[in-house]
Amino acid sequence: MEAFTKHTGKVVPLDRANVDTDQIIPKQFLKRVERTGFGQYLFYNWRFDMNGNPDPEFELNREEYAGGTILLTRTNFGCGSSREHAPWALLDFGFRVVIAPTFADIFYNNCFKNGILPIRLPEKTVDTLFQRIETKETRTLTVDLEETRISDGNGFTTDFEVEPYRRYCLLNGLDDIAITLQKEEQIHSYEENIPQYYRIEKEQGV
Amino acid sequence: MKPRTLFEKVWDRHVIDQEKGKPAILYIDLHLIHEVTSPQAFEGLRLNGRKVRRPDLTVATMDHNVPTANRNLPVTDGTSAKQMDTLAQNCRDFGIRLYDLHDPGQGIVHVIGPELGLTLPGKTIVCGDSHTSTHGAFGSLAFGIGTSEVEHVLATQCLQQLKPDTMEVHVKGSLPPGVTAKDVILALIAKIGTDGATGTVIEYTGEAIRNMSMEERMTVCNMSIEAGARAGMVAPDETTFRYLEGRPFAPKGEAFERAKEDWLELRTDEGAVYDRRVELDASQIAPQVTWGTSPGMGTAVTGRVPDPESFPTETEKKSAKRALEYMGLTPGTPMTEIPLDRVFIGSCTNARLEDLRAAARVVKGRKVNPRVRAMVVPGSQQVKRQAENEGLDRVFLDAGFEWRESGCSMCLAMNDDTLKEGERCASTSNRNFEGRQGRGGRTHLVSPMMAAAAAIEGHFVDLRNWNPED
């Protein structure tokens, strides 16, 4: 996983609440067996009409937000399906940061596994950011994970919170499977004591 | 010892390591996998030269994109076929038990786990699917994970987890006739919102929950994720044990008795404290119907499509307005006057034998409205066989329903079972998101009995005073 330390990029505002992972990556694109190549399908049903033509009104299609790498959105982003294809699509499209008042749990967790930083900010601060983007006071943001600080270099600065361990793993791009594998001894001794009735052996007829 | 909740007891039993300031390392007793969210995880293992630590505790099925029409024909969708072949190959390579397309045990992963007796009280159960919360109905701690975590469990049989908060959902009183478990969970989500339980594991308690069958408890726990919860749980009791006894992978004889003693410990201690608490009165719940594009956008069948301006915040007003545009609904329309094109009875929420029985009771001797195309997709091959043994297939077929093979089908429409643009569907599934059942399709979530009655009438009806002979 690519480490995340500090990132500066253009902000794309997506002023919708409860954006579910079916919108982020519709199911018809979940049939690939690779992790890559999902960016072209990001928000597919919102970006493209029934005939595959881009909707010029949709934020991700607007010239002024082209090349954006920071997504600003509303509460409960990433709700619904656990599909990790959602962060894969965001990352492949170029997003490294998502800012929202709240995130759904599984999506939030999936982001950290893929080098995307999801940032929770108070609703009021998110409102302010939406307004500043509207008035073009804010165009880009610098997100510093080391300092847990966001600023637009134009008068807006705020601190954010992230669980210390998640921050540590993201800063160092750690492979958490390798970390767990170091616990072999504890895993092994736990396994010795699993109740017999949790073993899955042969099926026995009903 | 400090009183603990059911969740804390199951959690504590599975923590193999807990360093200060770090997530717990939690042992996983059962890992369920399917064709859509596992291929990249196996690829990751191969790239890193890692093995599956416990193939014996890993069980696979094909459900998400399987065809529900004739199983004797080859799968026509090449990319779906490739995903199924990839799963079969991975299971062969790593020695994992697979219930494939032609296996009599095949079915939706959250239907077959319990029916095979793989789902047991006190287990930790994960799957790359958010509706894994279903299994919590047995007093297991069961939650959905992403593909990176699927890989983590394959490699280590463990997960790194930060401890979630707890939330008690207490459902007092008893459900009126015509009101079901589905209505309870839809009413809860309408009340607390789709992020009302974010960051928590819900425990469902109270008389209404105690009086529910296992199938009903599964329906409730299934949609915990739609309230934002990681998992939903119900403490095991005699209902649980009666369901489990004799199931293929459940312990037998004396072992079952010993297990039962242990499982009886899995209940929240007197004096244990939940981080949050919500109460519902079952007797006040009416049959529910959703009107919008989020499971929380629901109302009683006696209600009307709301006016977006009636919502308190700008964001909610906007969401409601957008939802009504997508759904093609006008504020003030009575829910019972919305005409339907399709009815789908199926999904991991509501495609178990009891669900089909309840729907069949409503349908029996009646005909599907000629405007409506209606289908029943059993949750598993076993459910299908049992239903056929009881003659339920005839009831549905005689009424004009289609009777399909088991799978996720039109709950997420990854196979050919989809809505066309603008089609409106009464669905027993769990998500009414834009495009969920097909691009431009419009989904109303309801219980199996509500869906069955809607199929007959061509619109929603209040089951509590429905008299189809009128």
**Residue B181 and residue B189: Cα distance in Å, rounded?**
13
**pLDDT score recorded for residue B469:** 67
Q: How confident is the model at residue A175 (pLDDT cuts 50, 70, 90)?
A: confident
For B410, the closest chain A residue by CA position comes to A27
Burial of B47 (C-beta count, 10 Å sphere; 0-12/13-18/19+): exposed
Q: Does residue A116 belong to any structural domain of this protein?
A: yes
Task: Evaluate whether B297 touches B331 at the Cβ level (below 8 Å).
Answer: no
pLDDT attached to residue B76 = 87
In a domain, A203, yes or no: no
Once rounded to an integer, what is the mean pLDDT over residues A2-10? 95
In a domain? residue A205: no
Residues of chain B with CATH 3.30.499.10: 6-278, 287-465
As for the ipTM of the complex, it is: 0.96
Chain B closest CA to A168's CA: distance in Å? 10
Q: Point out the residues of chain B with pLDDT beneath 50.
A: none
Structural tokens at position B121: 């009280």
Residue A10 tokens, joined = 């253009």
Across-strand partners of A48? A54
Tell me whether strands B158-161 and B24-27 are parallel, antiparallel or unpaired.
Answer: antiparallel
Q: Which of residues 73-102 of A touch B (CB under 8 A)?
A: 74-76, 79-84, 87, 102
Binary contact (A203, B116; C-beta < 8 A): yes
Asked if the structure places residue A57 within a domain, the reply is yes
- Residue entry with tokens 């209505």: B183
Rounded CA separation A74/A91 (Å): 19
B348 in a labelled binding site: yes
B127 is in an annotated binding site: no
The CATH number for A20's domain is 3.20.19.10
A contact residues 141-160, partner B, Cβ 8 Å cutoff: none
Answer whether residue A206 shows pLDDT above 60.
no
Kindly tell me if the per-residue pLDDT of A205 is higher than 60.
Answer: no
Measured between alpha carbons, how far is A176 from B158 in angstroms, rounded to an integer? 11
Does residue A206 sit within a domain? no
Nearest to B314 by CA among A76, A74, A129, A132: A74
Expressed as residue numbers, the domain containing A171 is: 6-198
Which pLDDT value is given to residue A204? 60
CB B428 within 8 A of CB B447: yes
Indicate yes or no: CB of A163 within 8 angstroms of CB of B256. Answer: no
Q: What are phi and psi of A47, to 5 degrees?
A: -80, -35
Would the CB atoms of B228 and A199 count as touching at under 8 Å? Answer: no
Mean pLDDT across A46-60 = 96
As a residue count, chain B comes to: 470
User: Is there a domain that residue A167 lies in?
Assistant: yes
**Total domain count for chain A?**
1
pLDDT digits (tens, 9 = 90+) for A31-50: 988 999 999 999 999 999 99
Check CB contact under 8 Å for B318 and A16. yes
Which residue among B21, B130, B151 places its CB closest to the CB of A177? B151
Which fold, B287-465? Aconitase; domain 3 (3.30.499)
B chain contacts of residue A17, beta-carbon cutoff 8 Å = 315-316, 318-319
pLDDT, mean of residues A61-67? 97
B158 is in an annotated binding site: no
- Whether A101 is covered by a domain: the verdict is yes
Interface touch A45/B439, C-beta < 8 Å: yes
Q: What is the DSSP string of B251-289?
A: --HHHHHHHHHHHTT-SPPTT---SEEEEEEGGGPPPEE
Q: Output Rg (C-alpha) for chain B, integer angstroms.
A: 22
According to CATH, the topology of domain B6-278 is Aconitase; domain 3 (3.30.499)
Say if residues A54 and B106 touch (Cβ distance below 8 Å). no
pLDDT at residue B73 in the model: 83
Instruction: Judge: A200–B249 Cβ closer than 8 Å, yes or no.
Output: yes
The answer for residues whose C-beta is within 8 angstroms of residue B85's C-beta and 6 or more apart is none
Beta bridge partners of B58: B31
Pairing of strands A97-100, A117-120: parallel
Q: Is residue A161 part of a domain?
A: yes
